[in-house]
Amino acid sequence: MSAGFQALIATALGDRDYEVSFQEITEADLPDLPVLVEVDYSTINYKDALAITKKGRIIRSFPMICGIDIAGKVISSQDEAWQPGDDIIVNGFGLSETMQGAFTKRQRVSADWLVKLPKGISHRHAMAIGTAGYTAMLCVQGLEDNGVSTNEGEILVTGATGGVGSVAIMILSKLGYKVVAVTGRAEHSEYLKSLGAEEIISREELDRDAKPMEKERWAGVVDCVGGKTLATAIAQTKYNGTVCACGLAGGFELNSTVMPFILRGVKLIGIDSVMAPISKREKAWKRLATDLDLNLLEKSITDIKFSEVPSACADLLEGRSKGRLVVKI
């Protein structure tokens, strides 16, 4: 019998409510899946914050070990694709929704969820990237795949001080794009410039009712916010430009018109990280190993103790944190 270890677990309270608490569990409490991993680091994403503060309906079955991101090592594997000692990353695939998640010292996962950690990236940096950073890379690849090259014009990044936004700015500026960042927190303008944003605009400039088409400005957009901000960004996107929609931090609705699509050939691309196939994940992580400046990434990191996860989740949703929150498990 293995020794006990701490896990952050959501436990049902009747049919409609739940509570989240640290509990001691053993390997016997983990799911019956083939790869046992030692979780070294995790991170706090917007979705983790929604689940742990009970502000969003993320968790679909109880009891649930919370946390959507794992970086660690394989301890043992019943699948020959993985060997003890392999450095791995796992995210999405329903972790913390329908599958047991990351906030535990050990976890069992399916062999087809794992991505080998690229050389040169530590467990801590992998979680500073995390789902947010890997989603940022999927957005950058969405722009590239649709012909948005560095000489097409400016790229707008919304929700800029957040996890996805911060990493998107770093990657895009390193690749040579001119990045304009939208933030509701002007006090972080210098931080955003230090990541590579060339210009900062305020949230109010986009978070308003848009005209069907506005003055063309953006060659591409990475949108973490949704709602009115996304509608305005679409209305301002240049002929043949591409908008990658990945988030809903400002709202899930989208009131737009067909005009930018049929008169300017604007493309609206949906970005999903959760069920993305392994080949797409591997491609994105390989790019992150080369196209993200890890020294710059350090600027966006706040290290959090495991015991601080619940309060850090509340801070994230209240707009009191920025960049990437990394958790040593």
Ligand X SMILES: NC(=O)c1ccc[n+]([C@@H]2O[C@H](COP(=O)([O-])OP(=O)(O)OC[C@H]3O[C@@H](n4cnc5c(N)ncnc54)[C@H](OP(=O)(O)O)[C@@H]3O)[C@@H](O)[C@H]2O)c1
User: What is the amino acid identity at position 273?
Assistant: S
From the CB of residue 324, how many other CB atoms can be counted at a distance below 10 Å?
A: 27
Taking the complex as a whole, how short is the minimal distance between the CB of residue 184 and ligand X, in angstroms? Answer: 4
- Please state, in angstroms and rounded to a whole number, the distance separating the CA atoms of residues 113 and 132: 17
Q: Which is nearer to ligand X, 49 or 74 (CB)?
A: 49
Beta pairing class for 154-157 and 218-223: parallel
Taking the complex as a whole, how short is the minimal distance between the CB of residue 196 and ligand X, in angstroms? Answer: 15
Residues 6+ apart with CB under 8 A from 178: 150, 153, 154, 155, 198
- Please state, in angstroms and rounded to a whole number, the distance separating the CA atoms of residues 190 and 184: 14
Q: Three-class SS of residue 112?
A: helix
Q: Which of 200, 249, 201 is nearest to 228 (CA)?
A: 249
Taking the complex as a whole, how short is the minimal distance between the CB of residue 68 and ligand X, in angstroms? Answer: 9
Q: Cis peptide leading into 63, omega within 30 of 0?
A: yes
Q: Which is nearer to ligand X, 45 or 242 (CB)?
A: 45
Q: Which is nearer to ligand X, 108 or 188 (CB)?
A: 188
Dihedral sign for Cα 256, 188, 122, 52, please. negative
- Please state, in angstroms and rounded to a whole number, the distance separating the CA atoms of residues 184 and 234: 19
Q: Which is nearer to ligand X, 72 or 159 (CB)?
A: 159
From the CB of residue 111, how many other CB atoms can be counted at a distance below 10 Å?
A: 15
Q: Which is nearer to ligand X, 105 or 188 (CB)?
A: 188
Q: Which is nearer to ligand X, 134 or 177 (CB)?
A: 134
Between CA 320 and CA 311, with CA 128 as vertex, the angle to 5 degrees is 35
Taking the complex as a whole, how short is the minimal distance between the CB of residue 203 and ligand X, in angstroms? Answer: 5
Sites of contact with ligand X (CB under 6 A): 45-47, 131-132, 135, 159-165, 183-185, 203, 207, 224-225, 229, 246-250, 271-274, 316, 319
Taking the complex as a whole, how short is the minimal distance between the CB of residue 132 and ligand X, in angstroms? Answer: 4
| 143, 224, 317 from 270: Cα distances, Å | 11, 11, 23
Taking the complex as a whole, how short is the minimal distance between the CB of residue 292 and ligand X, in angstroms? Answer: 15
Q: Which is nearer to ligand X, 42 or 77 (CB)?
A: 42
Q: Do the Cβ atoms of 234 and 268 come closer than 8 Å? A: yes
Taking the complex as a whole, how short is the minimal distance between the CB of residue 231 and ligand X, in angstroms? Answer: 13
DSSP letter at 226?
B
Q: Three-class SS of residue 135?
A: helix
Q: Which is nearer to ligand X, 259 or 317 (CB)?
A: 317
| 119, 136, 191, 193, 254 from 296: Cα distances, Å | 18, 15, 11, 11, 33
DSSP letter at 16?
T
Taking the complex as a whole, how short is the minimal distance between the CB of residue 145 and ligand X, in angstroms? Answer: 16
Q: Which is nearer to ligand X, 101 or 162 (CB)?
A: 162
Taking the complex as a whole, how short is the minimal distance between the CB of residue 173 and ligand X, in angstroms? Answer: 16
